[in-house]
A and B are shown apart, each in its own frame.
Chain A
Amino acid sequence: MKQSGLCCGLVVFGLLCAKAQDTFQLAPPFLKYASVFFEKKAIVSLQFAQPGTRIHYTTNGETPGENDPIYRRPIVIKKSATTLKAKVFGTGFLPSETVEATFYKSGLAIEQVIHDQPNDRYRGTGYATLTDGLGGIAEHGHPAWLGFQQDQVAIEVRLEKPQKIRQLLLHVLQNQGAWIFLPQRIEVFYLYQIPETKAFVWMGTKVLDASKMDGRVACQAIVVPLDGELKTDRLVVKIYPLAQIPEGHPAKGRPAWLFLDELKLY
């Protein structure tokens, strides 16, 4: 009995070794969508061409598990700030990493955005890049991105008529391996206009921990809360990119890049 128990143990051990050798992790699925910004709804398809595997997804912010829905047909998103998360499972494999994207409604109609000149290599799609409703592809070579490498980036936003503005959303890219960091500070001003006088008055500030090292390549929406009672038709946004890439990065001490693809007001 004792011997057979030992033998049995050896068999289990052997099988575990065999398993250890041959158990691989699945790669993550792909999220396919035109933009993370939408008027009425966003349609997202998930892609993973590996027979015998299943994509599970959530829209409640939780990491998908095997009890969450299996992807079968394109997913329709109607609620702003919905995060879609997806993960692949398959017998004999370790589940994939989770991929995610967050989708936003278009917000207030913006008449015009005037911004500083971006770097020549990352000029976006032209003057309307920040208001064209296209964004959310986390590849810095994608034409939806404006890329800046300077101390300060100023953006003037004009609305058709004075409105109450509760939030400003800036959609940015993080890819620290490509020297692209979150900005360290965003300041928002509104145009204070009385006869004979024009001045931009402070309205809101957001400070971020931009120098925190993070290997993820991801889009991020930075929301700046504003005084929602005040009516205005003109804002100025000043963005301060991270001035020095932190220690521990191959480009430490150099100025970081700032990548923007969309600006929204709510």
Chain B
Amino acid sequence: MRRRNFIKNTAFGLAGALYIPQIMAPTETILGHNNKRYRINTRWSQADVARNPVNDCHEMVQDQKGRILLLTNETKNNVLIYDKNGKLLDAWGSEYPGAHGLTLFNENGTDVLYICDNTRHQVIKTTIDGKVLMVLDYPKETEKYDKAEEYVPTETAIAPNGDIYVADGYGKDFIIQYDAQGRYIRHFGGRGDEAAHLLNAHGICVDLRDKTNPSLIATSRQQNAFKRYDLEGNYLETIALPGAWVCRPVIRGDYLYAAVLQSNSRQWTQSGFVTILDKQNKVVSNLAGSEPTYNGAIPDEMYQTIKAFEYPHDVCVDDEENLYVAQWNSGKTYPFKLEPVV
């Protein structure tokens, strides 16, 4: 549809198009399956690389003004703030060398950010424009850590009551729960052989889709799975996603979105894609990945089919259902935008 409109809207119209050999005709790349298909735009960011460079693009969120915030471990500007068209509006932050996790929480009407820093071994709460409000150091209270270096937080999730859940995804894989003031409550997860354990607890989110039963979804990336817990850390279920090194779960509407860093069958060869699950935890679409198929309750092994991404690290879904994909270790590339195909 869009392609036809494009040609129609071009001043030269059909006459111009007739001279274009078939092979040169614009080919729109549509990614995904079923009702979750997208048109990819790899040139969304209008940031000037000389002024506002990025290193790893780790995570993205949208604030209540509709702006898109990107967290990068480039200390010239740890946070880049865009409008939805990719115009850079603002940038801040130079003290987050290990900037990794970015979570936005609406605290009584005010947006606040939680940054996980791998290098500082800390979680930092800031205002939307970067003023530090609180710093959480390594969780001595758990009696699981001897020193800060053992703690490498990758993600936070904030419950409606303000409780903070920190995933120590590159450390000991515990989920540490604090109250809104940063007082330790409990920890759970960690490594081991049981279903409740985690391996590379890279992400976490609060799932409020079931209004009566709020829960937590944590990533167990090396196990190619998500694991669900109640808000007190009791293990509930595993959502197995064979083949997919899923990063953090991102919920919008009835769907769960996740960047897949890489295909398990082709490790460390830029084999990432993006996966989308419905409310029943069924994979409905893989963007640049294999068509989801099932032989039973668990999906067949998934893998990259189109080299549209290298190492996707996070997905942000905006208020118009557009996706923004940030990538790790992918040639310092800026995020891509994906618009839904209706």
Chain A 33-70 per-residue mask, 1 if CB under 8 angstroms from chain B, else 0: 00000000000000011110100000000000000000
Judged by a CB distance under 8 angstroms, whether A201 is at the interface is no
Is A30 in contact with B24, judged by CB distance below 8 angstroms?
no
State how many residues of chain B have any CB contact under 8 Å with chain A.
Answer: 32
Q: Are B306 and A12 in contact (CB under 8 A)?
A: no
Indicate if A16 sits at the interface (CB-CB under 8 A).
Answer: yes
Interface residue A26 (Cβ < 8 Å from any Cβ of B): yes
Among B290-308, those with CB < 8 Å from A are 290-291, 293, 300, 303-308
Chain A residue contacts of B10, Cβ below 8 A: 11
Neighbour of A7 across the interface among B11, B17, B291, CB < 8 A: B11
Q: A91 interface residue, CB < 8 Å from B?
A: yes
In the assembled complex, the Cα of A27 lies from the Cα of B307 at a distance in Å of 6
State the CA gap A8–B17 with chains docked (Å): 8
Q: Which residues, 92 to 112 on A, are CB-close (under 8 Å) to B?
A: 92-93
In the complex, what residue of chain B is closest to A5 when comparing beta carbons? B19
Given known A-B contacts A8-B19, A49-B290, A50-B291, A24 and B307 have beta carbons under 8 A apart: yes
B16 near A50 with CB under 8 A, answer: no
Q: Is the CB of B24 within 8 A of A19?
A: yes
Contact partner of B42 (CB less than 8 A), chosen from A8, A21, A50, A93, is: A21
How far, in angstroms, from A30 to B303 measured CA to CA in the complex?
10
Whether the pair B305, A21 counts as a contact (CB closer than 8 A) is no
> How far is it, in angstroms, between the C-alpha of A7 and the C-alpha of B20 when the chains are bound?
12
Contact status A19-B26, CB under 8 Å:
yes
Q: Are A26 and B40 in contact (CB under 8 A)?
A: no
How far does the Cβ of A175 sit from chain B's closest Cβ, in whole Å? 11
With an 8 A cutoff between CB atoms, is B143 at the interface? no
List, in ascending order, chain A residues with CB within 8 A of B40's CB: 22
Tell whether, in the assembled complex, residue A22 and residue B27 are in contact, meaning their CB atoms are under 8 Å apart: yes
Nearest Cβ on chain B to A258's Cβ, whole angstroms: 22
Query: Inside 8 A of B290's CB, which chain A residues have their CB?
Result: 48-50
Inter-chain CA distance A91–B25, complex, in Å, is 11
Query: Do the beta carbons of A49 and B291 come within 8 Å of each other?
Result: yes
Which has the most chain A C-beta neighbours within 10 Å: B12, B26, B41, B266? B26
Give the residues in chain A near B11, CB-CB below 8 Å.
7
Pair A93/B306 contact, Cβ less than 8 Å: yes
Map CB proximity to A onto B1-14 as digits: 1 under 8 Å, 0 otherwise.
00000000011100
A48 to B290, CA, bound (A): 7
Is A213 among interface residues, defined by CB-CB distance under 8 A?
Answer: no
* Interface flag for B43 (CB, 8 Å): yes
Residues of B within 8 A of A15 (CB): 20, 24-26
Q: Which residues of A contact B16 (CB under 8 A)?
A: 7-8, 11
A19 to B10, CA, bound (A): 16
Whether A23 lies near B306 (C-beta < 8 A) is: no
Answer whether A30 and B265 are a contact pair too, CB < 8 Å, given A8-B16, A22-B29, A51-B291. yes
Given known A-B contacts A23-B29, A50-B291, A8 and B307 have beta carbons under 8 A apart: no
CB distance from B99 to the nearest CB of A (A): 26
Q: How far is the CA of A4 from the CA of B291 in the complex (A)?
A: 44
Chain A residue nearest in CB terms to B286: A49
Is B271 interfacial (CB 8 A cutoff)? yes
B29–A50 touching, CB < 8 Å: no
Q: How far is the CB of A46 from chain B (nearest CB, A)?
A: 13
Q: Are B19 and A49 in contact (CB under 8 A)?
A: no
Provided the pairs A24-B308, A27-B303, A50-B290 are in contact, do residues A18 and B26 lie with their beta carbons within 8 angstroms?
Answer: yes
Residues of A within 8 Å of B268, CB to CB, are 177
Q: Is A25 an interface residue (CB 8 A)?
A: yes
What's the Cα separation between A254 and B59 when bound, in Å?
38
- B12 & A27 in contact (Cβ 8 Å cutoff): no
Contact A27 B305 (CB under 8 A): yes
Selected contact of A49 from candidates B24, B41, B293, B308, CB within 8 Å: B293
B193 to chain A, nearest CB (A): 19
CB contact under 8 A between A50 and B306, given known A19-B27, A91-B27: yes
Q: What is the CA–CA distance of A24 and B310 in the complex, to the nearest angstrom?
A: 12
Complex: how many Å from CA A72 to CA B93? Answer: 55
Is the pair B307, A22 in contact by a Cβ cutoff of 8 Å?
no
A25 contacts across to B, CB distance below 8 A:
306-307
Closest A residue to B302 by CB, please name it. Answer: A49
For residue B2, give the distance in angstroms from its CB to the closest CB of chain A: 11
- Residue of A23, A27, A93 ringed by the most chain B CB atoms within 10 A: A27
Chain B residues within an 8 Å CB radius of A16: 24
Chain B residues close to A by CB (< 8 Å): 10-12, 16-17, 19-20, 24-29, 40-43, 265-266, 268, 271, 288, 290-291, 293, 300, 303-308
